[in-house]
Amino acid sequence: MTQYLVKEGVKNLIHPDEQLITTHCCYCGMQCGMHIRVHKKTGKVVGVEPRYDWPVTRGKMCPKGVTAYQTIEHKDRILRPLIKKNGKFVEASWEEALDLIEKNFKRIQAEYGKDALAVFGGVSMTNEKCYLVGKYARVALGTRFIDYNGRFCMSSAAGGFLKTLGIDRGSTLPWTELEHTDCFFMAGTNTAECHPTSIQWFWRAKDKGAKLIVADPRETPTARVADVHLDLKPGTDSALANGIMHLLIKEGYVDEEYVNERCNNYEELKAMVEKFTPEYTAKITGVAPEKIVKAAHIYGRSPRSVVMFARGAEQQSKGVDNVSLYTSMALLRGQIGKFASGVATFTGQGNGQGGREHGQKSDLLPGYRKITDPEAVKYISSIWGIKPEDMPGPGVSAYEMFDEIHKGTIRAMHVICSNPAVSAPNLEYIWEGLRKLDFLVVNDFFLSETAEFADVVLPATTWAEDEGTTTNLEGRVIRIRKVREPLGEAKPDWMILSKIAERMGKGKHFQYNSAREIFDELRLASKGGKADYYGITYERIDKEDGVFWPCPSEDHPGTPTMFKEKFGTPDGKANLAVVDWEPAGEEPTEEYPHYLTTGRVVFHYLSGNQTRRVDFLKEQCPVPYAEMHPELASQYRLSNGDLVKLTTKRSSMVLEVRLTKAIRKDTVFVPYHWGKELAVNQLTSACLDPVSRMPEFKVCAVKLEKVSAKEVKAQ
Ligand SMILES: Nc1nc2c(c(=O)[nH]1)N[C@H]1C(S)=C(S)[C@@H](COP(=O)(O)OP(=O)(O)OC[C@H]3O[C@@H](n4cnc5c(=O)[nH]c(N)nc54)[C@H](O)[C@@H]3O)O[C@H]1N2
Ligand SMILES: Nc1nc2c(c(=O)[nH]1)N[C@H]1C(S)=C(S)[C@@H](COP(=O)(O)OP(=O)(O)OC[C@H]3O[C@@H](n4cnc5c(=O)[nH]c(N)nc54)[C@H](O)[C@@H]3O)O[C@H]1N2
Ligand code: SF4
Ligand SMILES: [Mo]
């Protein structure tokens, strides 16, 4: 069947009553190509077909992607604005909801100043929407407090890339070259579960003899098929990278010419990694020295290699250092800027790349411009039609906005496309903050745990009810198409924000009739910036299967491979990272003797507010659990299915035990896709990376106790 579909083209097989709308999945950064099946007469969404001619994913989709269409017309959709009255939500008209927002936003700003309002954004939205969220905060509300959920996701990768390479584009090469790579060094990425459709590229390469090295405290499905599995202790990536670089230098695997010509800090790096012998590295990481040596030889000898990492290495208080060091491994081998080689982070959310470039971050303006750069402020002010002196300054990071709520600086918040009541660390503090707010507005299409705290919930549209663009994990700008009219009274986020802007007296800056008009403004706003989209148009995207930024003019071909000649730093050279290993923010102690790490399963997406509503996905994985090694479990007389109480310095929770030998004996893993008493973020640490302000979701110290169902009930 598959062969047939590929050969004949799926369009020939479609039912005459249906049409196919070509778009991309709404979930992860792979942005798999798909066609959504729509009934011609009723306009209803009836199914999905993978897109075999999409070059990046070639007809592959994962269980989340094939069921995503079921969320579009789901019975739980919020169809009208909701206003909380006496603790209960009641449906209201848009006029009523907007009146209430206007009244409260104006009252709070009159009493406490402009910065009393805050915006918390997200990057499951198109570039157009993400861009508008930044403009909305700064122009419509005039506040400096804006940040977004990418702070919990891509900020360490961004910080590391900016430091070493000068430009933060998640992948320095197109995914379609990966089949020609000889070696993949993958750190802290559970690729098979989190970017499942990219696995085909590694298989193709492996069929040609490519080698795979995986660094992860767990034996993930990817680690299981690796040539070397470096089963490191959580929080020790910087030691591992330094240890590998020690061997690259000692064994003569460094591309000296490349390093001399294109990199700074080589002598300093040599001095730093001198002490990271395999034995010393093994002591810190817990990985056997022979494995470290084997990995260094395989990696060092491969003519074309790619170093890849994801949140395992990044969601740490040393995340930026880890990214810089892993990137330096690729630099020492002279791999960046060449065919089928380089460095890549697995971008998380659908628009995790584009959404971080256009001004949702507290310190950035569109085009990856710094808000502290007077020239950037002047330029963007001219596009937005405001005076440069009216541009608010930098704000604070996502988690730190909650500090400002606790201090009383921030009094009201508008959450757009995020569910921090599940996904932020140290949740009791977050919940207390949400309760403390004078006024909370949430845009969502399903009532999220965060929306439950809100005073007003505004019904947003899903990705299938509006057009726009996203930027996939390669840096390729692609098109999202409108599949059906908005359900009920739902509106696209850009329309909602424009309406509120109108109420705040800033309507003239938000006169848009379509997403396309916003994209044209974004193109101009990004012009001349690091993430330059000026040359990208909807027509070009359609014609060329997406366009890679930077693309400064319409006759520029786009940039599939980054840094061919020079890096994005002022002197054009890459900065090798010279960083020692330092322990994580919270290490095991006598009282909390084990590591707790958190992450994902293939069946759920992030806070789970979408995937927990899809029956098939819910059935596959209904609740979270504590994954641990049988030897660790036996210390507490725990068997599979028993209840265990996990306690960290912040809080405790009870979960079912799931035994597996595919994890270190000192580490417990819990997936994080559930809310309230099932949210593992009650336990996680809010220790932040000093540069990226990324919370340390991947490492904290935990205590285990066996409990019985009876004891739990009694509590
Ligand atoms: N199924 C599914 N897919 C998704 C998502 C989802 O929610 N569900 N979310 C998307 C998003 S937004 C993101 S950010 C990505 C995340 O994609 P990944 O980063 O691949 O996923 P995680 O499960 O967070 O963590 C990856 C691995 O890090 C390991 N790890 C833990 N601690 C450490 C450490 O100290 N060092 C190292 N080297 N490894 C460590 C964990 O054991 C885990 O296997 O996935 C995207 N795709
Ligand atoms: N313990 C632990 N915590 C983590 C992580 C971890 O590994 N461990 N990972 C972190 C990472 S990498 C991430 S990315 C964050 C994600 O954390 P969140 O930002 O909470 O992620 P989502 O669940 O995608 O939340 C998006 C919300 O917006 C809604 N939504 C989706 N699309 C749209 C849209 O177009 N418009 C509007 N208005 N709403 C929309 C969804 O229904 C959902 O309620 O979680 C972080 N938290
Ligand atoms: S969740 Fe990611 S891998 Fe799965 S279908 Fe969607 S875009 Fe593809
Ligand atoms: Mo993420």
24 and 94 both lie in a single domain: no
Q: Is pLDDT above 90 for 131? A: yes
Q: Is pLDDT above 50 for 165? A: yes
pLDDT at 83: 98
pLDDT at 710: 81
Mutate to test the pocket of ligand 1, among 423, 698, 699 (most ligand atoms within 8 A of CB): 698
Ligand 3 atom at shortest distance from the alpha carbon of 26: 6
421 and 469 both lie in a single domain: yes
The answer to whether residue 76 is domain-embedded is: no
633 and 497 both lie in a single domain: no
- pTM of the predicted protein model: 0.97
The answer to whether residue 574 is domain-embedded is: no
pLDDT at 10: 58
CATH of the domain at 236: 3.40.228.10
pLDDT at 56: 98
Least confident of 10-24, 311-325, 552-566: 10-24
Hey, what long-range contacts does 520-526 have (CB within 8 A, 24 or more apart)? 521/131, 521/383, 522/127, 522/128, 522/131, 522/358, 522/366, 524/383, 525/131, 525/358, 525/365, 525/366, 525/367, 525/380, 525/383, 525/384, 526/357, 526/358, 526/366, 526/367, 526/368
Q: Is pLDDT above 50 for 552? A: yes
Report the C-alpha gap between 32 and 25 in whole angstroms: 5
The proportion of the chain whose per-residue pLDDT surpasses 90, expressed as a percent, equals 97
Which pair of tokens denotes residue 23? 């778009």
Q: Is pLDDT above 60 for 109? A: yes
The answer to whether residue 22 is domain-embedded is: yes
300 and 217 both lie in a single domain: yes
Q: Tell me if 339 sits within 8 A of 561, measured CB to CB.
A: yes
Q: What is the mean pLDDT of residues 610-621?
A: 98
The answer to whether residue 124 is domain-embedded is: yes
Ligand 3 contact via 126 beta carbon (within 6 Å): no
Mutate to test the pocket of ligand 3, among 24, 31, 32 (most ligand atoms within 8 A of CB): 32
User: Tell me: the pLDDT tens digits for 455-502?
Assistant: 999 999 999 999 999 999 999 999 999 999 999 999 999 999 999 999
Report the C-alpha gap between 257 and 270 in whole angstroms: 16
Q: How far is the CA of 694 from the centre of ligand 1 (A)?
A: 14
CB-defined site of ligand 1, < 6 Å: 28, 153, 187-190, 193-195, 215-218, 220, 232, 234-235, 237, 310-313, 346, 348-349, 597, 599-600, 602, 604-606, 669, 698-699
CATH of the domain at 35: 3.30.200.210
Domain final position from 314, 345, 376: 345
Nearest CA to ligand 3 atom 5: 65
Distances (CA, A) of 299 to 184, 235, 248, 254, 502: 8, 22, 9, 11, 57
Which pair of tokens denotes residue 124? 């499951």
Q: Tell me if 568 sits within 8 A of 167, measured CB to CB.
A: yes
Which pair of tokens denotes residue 658? 């799931």
Helix (H) or strand (E) holding 454: none
CATH of the domain at 639: 2.40.40.20
535 and 434 both lie in a single domain: yes
Letter string b/e over residues 441-463, b meaning 16 or more CB atoms within 10 A of that residue's CB: bbbbbbbbbbbebbbbbbbbbbb
Nearest CA to ligand 1 atom 46: 348
532 and 516 both lie in a single domain: yes
pLDDT at 1: 33
Q: How far is the CA of 171 from the centre of ligand 1 (A)?
A: 17
What total of structural domains would you count in the chain? Answer: 4
125 and 49 both lie in a single domain: no
Q: Tell me if 258 sits within 8 A of 342, measured CB to CB.
A: no
398 and 262 both lie in a single domain: no
The answer to whether residue 436 is domain-embedded is: yes
Q: Tell me if 247 sits within 8 A of 300, measured CB to CB.
A: yes
Distances (CA, A) of 398 to 31, 147, 489, 554, 690: 25, 5, 30, 36, 14
User: Tell me: the pLDDT tens digits for 413-454?
Assistant: 999 999 999 999 999 999 999 999 999 999 999 999 999 999
Ligand 3 contact via 62 beta carbon (within 6 Å): yes
Domain final position from 329, 345, 361: 345
pLDDT band for 156, please (50, 70, 90 cuts): very high
The answer to whether residue 577 is domain-embedded is: no
252 CA to centre of own chain: 36
Ligand 2 atom at shortest distance from the alpha carbon of 124: 32
Q: What is the mean pLDDT of residues 293-311?
A: 98
The answer to whether residue 571 is domain-embedded is: no
pLDDT at 11: 58
Provide the residue range defining the domain that includes 61: 3-71
Query: How confident is the prediction for the chain on average, in pLDDT?
Result: 97
Q: How far is the CA of 703 from the centre of ligand 1 (A)?
A: 23
> If 0-12 CB within 10 Å is exposed, 13-18 middle and 19+ buried, where does residue 65 land?
buried
Number of Cβ within a 10 Å radius of residue 160: 30
What's at 573, amino acid-wise?
Answer: K
695 and 649 both lie in a single domain: yes
Domain final position from 288, 313, 345: 345
Nearest CA to ligand 3 atom 6: 65
pLDDT at 6: 47
Q: What is the mean pLDDT of residues 140-155?
A: 98
142 and 255 both lie in a single domain: no
Torsion of CA 195, 566, 692, 604, to 10 degrees: -10
pLDDT at 5: 47
pLDDT at 4: 38
The answer to whether residue 539 is domain-embedded is: yes
Q: Is pLDDT above 60 for 3? A: no
Q: What is the mean pLDDT of residues 406-412?
A: 98
Ligand 2 contact via 474 beta carbon (within 6 Å): no
User: Tell me: the pLDDT tens digits for 219-229?
Assistant: 999 999 999 99
pLDDT at 12: 60
13 and 32 both lie in a single domain: yes
144 and 164 both lie in a single domain: no
